[in-house]
Amino acid sequence: MKKRLTFFLLINICLIFFYLSLPKDINALEKDLGENLFKNNCAGCHINGGNIIRRSKNLKISSLKRNGIDNQEAIAKIARQGIGMMNGYEDELGDNGDQIVADWVWEQAQKAWIQE
C-alpha cells in the first residue's frame, strides 16, 4: 500500500513539473513559428520590418495602413499570393503558415518592431 502511494505521488510530481514547463501563453508556440517563418522567408527583404527594395513598402504600422493593409488577413493574403514585385510564399509557408506569419507581423507592427 505504501509503495502504491509513493508511486502515485511520484507520478503526480512528474506531471506537475511537466505542466509547469509548458508555455505559459497558449499561442507561444505559434508565435515562435511565426517568427521562424518570417526569419526564413521574409527577413531577407524585410529586416526588422523594413524593406530593402522599396522603403515605402515596409511593415511598419503607419506604412501598412497607408497602403491599405490594416489587418492580419490582408498581410496573410500578401504572404500567400504576393503583391507587386513580391512573389507569394504559399508553398514555402505551408498550411496556415500565411496566417501564422501574418499574426506575428501584425503583432510586431503594433509594437513598432521593438523586441522585448
In CATH terms, the fold of domain 26-110 is Cytochrome Bc1 Complex; Chain D, domain 2 (1.10.760)
Beta-carbon contacts of residue 54 (< 8 Å; ≥ 6 apart): 85
Note the pTM of the prediction, 2 decimals: 0.74
Which set of grid coordinates corresponds to residue 111? 509594437
Residue ranges per structural domain of the chain: 26-110
- Going residue by residue through the chain (116 aa), what tens digit of pLDDT does each one get? 777 878 887 887 877 777 667 665 545 677 799 999 999 999 999 999 999 999 999 999 999 999 999 999 999 999 999 999 999 999 999 999 999 999 999 999 999 999 76
How far apart CA 72 and CA 66 sit, in angstroms, is 15
Residue in 5, 31, 22 with CA at minimum distance from that of residue 107: 31
